[in-house]
Amino acid sequence: MTLKISISGVRGVVPESLTPEVCLNFAKAFGSYIIEEESSPNKTIVVGTDPRSSSEFIKGIVFSGLLSTGCKIVDLGICPTPTVGIMVRKLKAAGGIVITASHNPLPWNGLKFMREDGIFLNENQAKKLIDLYEKQKFIKKKQKGVVADPSGIDIHIKKILKVINPFIIKRRKFKVVIDCCNGAGGIAAVKLLKKLGCKVFPINCDLTLPFAHAPEPIAKNLTQLMKTTVAKKADIGFALDSDADRLAIVSSHGKPIGEELTLALATQFVLLQNHNETTKKKIVITNLSTTQAIDDIVRSYHGIVIRTKIGEVHVAQELKHLKALIGGEGNGGVIYPPVGFNRDALAAMTLILKLMATTKKSIADLVSTIPTYFMIKKKIKCKSQHEAEVLISDLKERFPKKALILTDGVKVMLAKSWVHIRASNTEPVIRIIAEGKERRKVKKLIKQALKPLS
């Protein structure tokens, strides 16, 4: 059975591994964690879900677990993951739970856990939660009840429009195709785009239907979006994953620009808007596996790039701590602090449209200004943690120590390329990512990295 418990929460196949008992005990553990850790008398937990058929079933179980520990629940219903983070802060809640497996396909589902600032639990906090789950040391207190609050999406959109002035976007009257894979962003994304003055062509934005395709917004899953963008003569096509925290982009020519460039373009706009700031204030946070193009863009604005371990929480914590301008990950995840500290496809869409409106350039033209790198991403099924450790250890021995970054797995830095190997936080796989200026050399790096498994 496949059950993945990590810093990114818990994910599994419903009902084989993500069983009712697992969901109930994790809810009890989180409620107990909140009661023990939070000094505030407000023990409110904000809960949101994606539209998977199993989410409503799991939500009832999660509510039972939280109520048994004495927590009050605010039910946001189906909404994007970043909406939950925004509402945790607005309501001054003690934490939040998102019922979603993010980019994982059906029949997967899962639970993500947020703390009082709307950021996901960090490593130490996640360890405490998992320890409570494993030891089943649950608190029992009088139940406080559930309050429904459907305002989350509207509050989220209003916040975006407040911090990213939409006037110049509205003047351009962009034609936009949006594919939400019938996920949690279906209502929110269309509503936001209309408020931005766009002519919207929604596809797969019906929350009552199953996912129209695999929910990860990578090129092979965007065929319908590509064709529709060309057919409608749209300026741009957007694709969201099932919980609307990742954004992929298709040009007016129907070409996917690659998920790595979502953050690159958003960063370019934010640095353009802040070009007069001092170098110390032009800080961008990303993770070890994100494209080197970010460094090139930030360097051109005389800014600073800081790289963290993989995982949204690591980027978010550094963003908050260093008061950085923007951050995110190369999977299409953009974190824009004025809106919130979660990856947010809605905020990312708005930043991209603002960049197009400000520069009066198409996405294809904007992409052409970004230095070109070739990146290959591979993932292989991992039989055990030991297998991952053997592969990582082997890679360490085959390259000089000065070329290694050991913050998360092992990243080998070469003159004009790099390769990164690590165990995934969200799937039972080993991830291998390599990037460089020449495709041939990148393929060679991947081959070298996989040699012990051949």
**pLDDT above 70: residue 370:** yes
Task: Tell me, yes or no, whether 319 and 386 share the same domain.
Answer: no
Task: Tell me, yes or no, whether 30 and 112 share the same domain.
Answer: yes
Q: In whole angstroms, what is the distance from residue 11 CA to residue 24 CA? A: 14
Task: Tell me, yes or no, whether 183 and 132 share the same domain.
Answer: no
pLDDT for 436 equals 97
Query: For the packed helices 152-163 and 186-195, what is the interaxial angle rounded to 10 degrees?
Result: 40
Contact 19, 122 (CB under 8 A): no
pLDDT for 424 equals 82
Which tokens go with 71?
Answer: 């927590």
pLDDT digits (tens, 9 = 90+) for 107-163: 999 999 999 999 999 999 999 999 999 999 899 988 889 999 999 999 999 999 999
The residue among 376, 351, 368, 346 whose CA lies nearest residue 251 is 368
Task: Tell me, yes or no, whether 342 and 402 share the same domain.
Answer: no
Q: Does 10 reside within a domain? A: yes
CATH of the domain at 125: 3.40.120.10
Q: Which is the catalytic residue, given 55, 102, 242, 289?
A: 102
Task: Tell me, yes or no, whether 274 and 316 share the same domain.
Answer: yes
Task: Tell me, yes or no, whether 145 and 48 share the same domain.
Answer: yes
Which tokens go with 374?
Answer: 């070739």
The distance from CA 276 to its chain's CA centroid, rounded to whole angstroms, is: 29
Single out the residue in 368, 383, 416 at which a domain terminates.
368
pLDDT for 139 equals 93
3-class DSSP assignment, residue 432: strand
Catalytic-residue membership of 102: yes
Q: In whole angstroms, what is the distance from residue 233 CA to residue 240 CA? A: 20
Q: In whole angstroms, what is the distance from residue 238 CA to residue 2 CA? A: 31
The number of folded domains in the chain is: 4
Q: Does 60 reside within a domain? A: yes
The pLDDT confidence band at residue 453, using thresholds 50, 70 and 90, is low
Expressed as residue numbers, the domain containing 300 is 260-368
